[in-house]
């Protein structure tokens, strides 16, 4: 079956062989305090730095999921207040989990057809001034870089504008963009993701990329209440160990895939060219329209397509007959949209096959 589901998504075909290798090499029984595991983790972190072009002063941690990383941000980096901007389901969920932990979390919805910059700054002066004042006073700002539910992304300008207008810790959910497009690391303090989207791996690992500023904040708050408090994670990772018995198969597969993939600049160009091609194709050669009309906010890695529920049901049936899985709509767009993953593991012949069904 060919799958375009935006997570869990297509895994690289090489994963089959890597799983066998892990078994044969005895990796699966490695103790997580052993030299063998420490070498594996060190190599994995080094390859992530190298292939994803992560600045050397940023540290990388592995956790269980992006959802867990949301809670680490709330527990270890937020004393009083986090400010969430979202336009779809994942950003909203992040806010709800945080609100259970952080006394004064606040959230602002913005229109997925407009940029965050437009929402915050390009309106009446009084509103823009009000937003600037709030941003300047923020402790932690939480942004969903790539909103998988509706196929939107923040622009580089959005991310830069936030950075320029606050001293807050800036946390970005890049679950469906990390590994698919180049990220402006210096513009954020916490970049969180999981492996089952653009990294083309089976689910079961989350990633956190943290700036020195994030670490300094963690030290200031000194949260040690939880097994996954950021300082405990950091203590372990500086020794190339983990704070609990890890998903060692997942770590091994991540190492192998990072070793295999091209550098992020190469992947970025390919992803963006494919995205352009997808949007053009959908809007000009099919009866469908892209859900997001604003070319600035359309995601490169998740293509959301709008249509009538009946037509979408018929399309899904036809796709299933051809052994193709497309992504369901999500949240409030569930019945009148579908989604196409534009992740690096997907091959050109698979795209051609789906195009024939859509046109
Ligand atoms: C998939 C996804 C998540 C959840 O990831 P888990 O690994 O299931 O925790 C969070 N945020 C975004 C934007 C996602 O696409």
Q: Which ligand 1 atom is at minimum distance from the Cα of 195? A: 7
- Which of the 8 DSSP states describes residue 203? S
346 pLDDT higher than 90: yes
CA–CA separation, 21 and 84 (whole Å)? 43
Tell me if residue 83 falls in helix, strand or coil.
strand
What φ, ψ does residue 343 adopt, rounded to 5°? -100, 155
pLDDT of residue 103: 86
Calculate the CA 286 to chain-centre distance. Answer: 29
CA–CA separation, 351 and 76 (whole Å)? 42
Cα-to-centroid distance, 67 and ligand 1 (Å): 6
pLDDT of residue 192: 99
Per-residue model confidence as pLDDT tens digits over 268-323: 999 999 999 999 999 999 999 999 999 999 999 999 999 999 999 999 999 999 99
- List the residue whose alpha carbon is closest to atom 5 of ligand 1: 66
Cα-to-centroid distance, 125 and ligand 1 (Å): 35
State mean pLDDT over 106-131.
Answer: 93
Cα-to-centroid distance, 66 and ligand 1 (Å): 5
Per-residue model confidence as pLDDT tens digits over 16-34: 999 999 999 999 999 999 9
Q: Which ligand 1 atom is at minimum distance from the Cα of 146? A: 13
State mean pLDDT over 341-359.
Answer: 97
- List the residue whose alpha carbon is closest to atom 14 of ligand 1: 175
What φ, ψ does residue 275 adopt, rounded to 5°? -65, -45
Q: Is the pTM of this model over 0.85?
A: yes
**Confidence band, pLDDT 50/70/90 cuts, at residue 107:** very high
Beta-carbon contacts of residue 210 (< 8 Å; ≥ 6 apart) = 58, 59, 60, 61, 189, 190, 191, 230
Q: Which residues line ligand 1 (CB under 6 A)?
A: 7, 65-67, 90, 144, 148, 173, 175-176, 194, 206
Q: Which of 175, 191, 195 to mutate to test the pocket of ligand 1 (most atoms within 8 A of CB)?
A: 175
Cα-to-centroid distance, 226 and ligand 1 (Å): 22
Tell me if residue 148 falls in helix, strand or coil.
coil
State mean pLDDT over 123-142.
Answer: 92
Q: Exposed, middle or buried, 230 (CB in 10 Å: 0-12/13-18/19+)?
A: buried
Q: Which ligand 1 atom is at minimum distance from the Cα of 144? A: 13
pLDDT of residue 281: 98
Q: Which of 6, 7, 96 to mutate to test the pocket of ligand 1 (most atoms within 8 A of CB)?
A: 7
Cα-to-centroid distance, 90 and ligand 1 (Å): 7
pLDDT-above-70 percentage for the chain: 100
State mean pLDDT over 342-350.
Answer: 98
Beta-carbon contacts of residue 334 (< 8 Å; ≥ 6 apart) = 328
State mean pLDDT over 58-86.
Answer: 98
Q: Which of 145, 148, 181, 331 to mutate to test the pocket of ligand 1 (most atoms within 8 A of CB)?
A: 148
Cα-to-centroid distance, 192 and ligand 1 (Å): 9
State mean pLDDT over 160-176.
Answer: 98
**Confidence band, pLDDT 50/70/90 cuts, at residue 332:** confident
Cα-to-centroid distance, 244 and ligand 1 (Å): 21
DSSP one-letter string for 35-73: HHHHHHHHHHHHHHHHHHT--TTSEEEEES-HHHHHHHH
Per-residue model confidence as pLDDT tens digits over 195-252: 999 999 999 999 999 999 999 999 999 999 999 999 999 999 999 999 999 999 999 9
State mean pLDDT over 109-117.
Answer: 97
181 pLDDT higher than 90: yes
Give the dihedral sign, CA 124/127/130/135: negative
Q: Which of 86, 90, 201 to mutate to test the pocket of ligand 1 (most atoms within 8 A of CB)?
A: 90
Per-residue model confidence as pLDDT tens digits over 184-197: 999 999 999 999 99
State mean pLDDT over 77-89.
Answer: 97
pLDDT of residue 287: 94
pLDDT of residue 227: 95
pLDDT of residue 39: 98
Q: Which of 64, 67, 195, 201 to mutate to test the pocket of ligand 1 (most atoms within 8 A of CB)?
A: 67
Cα-to-centroid distance, 194 and ligand 1 (Å): 7
Q: Which ligand 1 atom is at minimum distance from the Cα of 174? A: 13
What φ, ψ does residue 122 adopt, rounded to 5°? -100, 45
Cα-to-centroid distance, 359 and ligand 1 (Å): 30
- Using CA atoms, how far residue 15 sits from 41, 199, 212, in Å, is 18, 11, 33
């Amino acid at each position: 079956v060919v799958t375009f589901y935006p997570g869990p998504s297509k895994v690289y075909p090489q994963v089959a062989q890597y799983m066998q290798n892990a078994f044969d090499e005895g990796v699966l029984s490695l103790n997580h305090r052993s030299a063998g595991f420490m070498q594996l983790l060190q190599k994995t972190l080094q390859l992530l730095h190298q292939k994803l072009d992560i600045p050397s002063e940023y540290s990388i941690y592995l956790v269980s999921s992006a959802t867990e990383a949301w809670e680490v941000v709330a527990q270890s980096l937020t004393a009083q207040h986090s400010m969430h901007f979202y336009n779809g389901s994942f950003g909203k969920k992040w806010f709800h989990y945080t609100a259970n932990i952080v006394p004064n979390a606040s959230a602002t919805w913005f229109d997925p057809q407009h940029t965050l910059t437009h929402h915050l700054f390009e309106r009446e002066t009084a509103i823009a001034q009000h937003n600037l004042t709030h941003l300047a006073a923020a402790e932690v700002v939480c942004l969903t870089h790539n909103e998988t539910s509706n196929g939107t992304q923040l622009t580089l300008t959005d991310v830069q504008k936030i950075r320029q207008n606050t001293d807050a810790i800036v946390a970005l959910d890049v679950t469906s963009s990390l590994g698919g497009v180049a990220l402006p690391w210096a513009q954020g303090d916490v970049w969180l993701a999981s492996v089952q989207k653009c990294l083309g791996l089976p689910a079961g690992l989350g990633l956190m990329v943290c700036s020195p500023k994030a670490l300094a904040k963690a030290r200031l708050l000194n949260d040690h209440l939880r097994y996954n408090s950021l300082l405990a994670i950091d203590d372990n990772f500086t020794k190339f160990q983990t704070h609990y018995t890890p998903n060692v198969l997942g770590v091994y597969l991540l190492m192998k895939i990072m070793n295999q993939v091209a550098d992020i600049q190469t992947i970025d160009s390919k992803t963006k060219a494919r995205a352009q091609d997808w949007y053009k194709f959908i809007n000009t050669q099919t009866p469908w329209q892209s859900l997001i009309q604003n070319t600035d906010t359309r995601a490169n890695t998740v293509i959301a397509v709008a249509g009538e529920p009946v037509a979408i049901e018929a399309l899904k049936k036809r796709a299933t007959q051809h052994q193709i899985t497309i992504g369901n709509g999500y949240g409030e767009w569930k019945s009148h949209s579908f989604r196409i993953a534009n992740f690096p593991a997907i091959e050109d012949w698979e795209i051609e096959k789906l195009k024939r069904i859509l046109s």
